[in-house]
Structure 1
Amino acid sequence: MIERAQPTNYELVRQDIIEGIQSSISNLVLKLAECYYSDGNSKELLCLAGTVVCQYKGNRYNTPIEIWFQQDHPQVPPLAYVKPTPDMYISTTSRDVQPDGAVIIPYLRNWRHPNSDLDTLLNAMSQAFSQSPPVYSN
């Protein structure tokens, strides 16, 4: 599947995908799908979809996420989104997630290859979401 996406840096993308799938704080599966940009364009990209664990007030929660690998990954940061289930809503007070679900934690804003990787991103998301959960349910 990775080959079909034709990433510029195949081995580095493969390594990050393996890290994401094997992470103990997430449950992610790989897919190849259309990613739609805010400017109306779309592109077929690799995506890890599933959940990342967070702890809030002594309880464990699985926050639904998608992480999209852009063509030039890891030179450019992945696109990370919280993807609420039908019974969930994105918190209007979240400082880490925009209303459209885009994750805007400092680790993503400061992404720099070769120092940044998916495993550390998942940990940063888990920590941020544990401090301020990005979703709630009715």
Structure 2
Amino acid sequence: MAHCDAFLRTHLHDYVNPDVSKRDISSALAAFTDLRPHRSTFVHNDGRQEELVNIDGTIPVNYKRVTYNIPICIYLAKNHPAEPPMGFVKPTQAMSIKPGKHVDSSGRIYLPYLHEWTPHSSDLMGMISILTIVFGEESPVFSKAVSTPYPTTVPPTIPIPTVYPEPFKQSDGTDLERQIKASLQSSVEENVNRRVGEIWAQVDAEMTTLRKTHEDLEQGKQRLDEMLKKSDRETDKVKQASAVLLEKHAQINEAITQLENRDKVDIDSAIVPSTPLYKQLLNAFAEEQAVEDAIFLLAEGLKKHTIDLDVFLKEVRELSRRQFLLRATVQKCRQVAKLPPLTV
């Protein structure tokens, strides 16, 4: 079966509906295991040649309570299933075609099922199922030795009946009318039985297709249910995130409102030491940083020759002495305030 799937995937590439055609062929091959897929040249009635995929082999037919294997070949059009398939009986060398109501002298198969073919409800399995019933009523082939279907698993001849109808005897009008009525009744019953068999086979094939469609729909429903559940979970998460976002937005607006309603803060009075010790610490640290900047600027002035070396050394000496005292004051204040020592 895997080989058949690979073959179909390869040779259905130029078909209009490769997936539908592959599924239709696979269903028929699964039901009738003596059929095999092929691809060969098909010659149309107008002489046009076309490479088509076909299924070739035998199908079991119960003819007069004996099972025979009838060889057939069914070609699929490129736009399958928009057009009905083309079926043929392919007799072996020991067989000959027996033209009838459903098969012509070339072996071409004709069925009401093909005439009423619909792309969405008809399929190969339904066609072949009807063939097994139709060929069971009227054999499409006969052995070249005797006019019987050619068997593959039983002797090639069908027993000839030994009881023959009695010769017609002249009788009155009542007997003749009764015989004609019985003949008509028998003919009608035969036609009705044949038609019922065709309808039953068609209905059975359609039921198989409907069951398969129902299974596909059930699987699709399960997938949709899973998708809907996942969508509901995602919706809940989005709602939760939206609620959190709205809450944070409200908090931000409240904070903005509080800030706008506050009195303006004087920057100079914002940093006021709470105790004299902290005030001494702040002033000493600020002055020490100012001395540091002054020493830096004196060095820059010396580089640019804006001040003499003697002036530079004198000012740096005084500023360094002042900076040392300020740093000692800062360290002492931090020690008294129980603050960690300042690292230079």
Q: What TM-score do the two structures reach when normalised by structure 2?
A: 0.39
1:134 aligns with 2:113: no
What is the aligned-residue identity percentage? Answer: 29
Q: Distance in 1 between matches of 2:17 and 2:113?
A: 21
Report the AA paired with residue 132 of structure 2: S
Q: What RMSD over aligned residues (CA atoms) do the two structures have, in Å?
A: 1.2
Amino acid at match of 1:117: D
* Higher Cα Rg, which structure: 2
- Pair 1:22 & 2:30 matched: yes
Match of 1:40 in 2: 47
Q: CA deviation at 1:35?
A: 0.7
**Contact 1:20–1:119 (8 Å) recurs in 2:** yes
Among 116, 140, 149, the alignment partner of 1:110 is 116
State yes or no: 1:10 paired with 2:18.
yes
Look up the equivalent residue of 1:13 and give its one-letter code.
Answer: S
Counterpart code for 1:57: K
Per the alignment, residue 49 of structure 1 pairs with: 56
Instruction: Note the C-alpha offset of 1:39.
Output: 1.5
* Residues 1:90 and 2:116 are matched in the alignment: no
SS in 2 for 1:65: strand
Distance 1:75 1:121 in 2: 15
Greater mean deviation of Cα atoms: 1-10 or 128-137? 1-10
Structure with the larger helix share: 2
Q: Distance in 2 between matches of 1:86 and 1:19?
A: 30
Q: Kindly tell me the number of residue pairs found equivalent between the two proteins.
A: 136
Higher relative contact order (CA 8 A, sep 6+): 1
**2:248 paired residue number:** none
How far apart are the structure 1 equivalents of 2:95 and 2:101? 17
**Is the 1:20–1:48 Cα contact (8 Å) retained in structure 2?**
no
Q: Which runs of 4+ in 1 moved over 6 A?
A: none
Alignment check: 8 A CA contact 2:11 2:53 kept: no
Gap regions ≥5 residues in structure 1 = none
> Does the CA-based 8 Å contact 1:48-1:68 persist in structure 2?
yes
More strand by share: 1
Q: Does 1:123 align with 2:129?
A: yes
Structure 2 residue identity aligned to 1:23 = A
Q: Take 1:110 and 1:99, find their aligned partners in 2: how far apart are those partners?
A: 23
Gaps of at least 5 residues in structure 2 are 1-6, 146-344
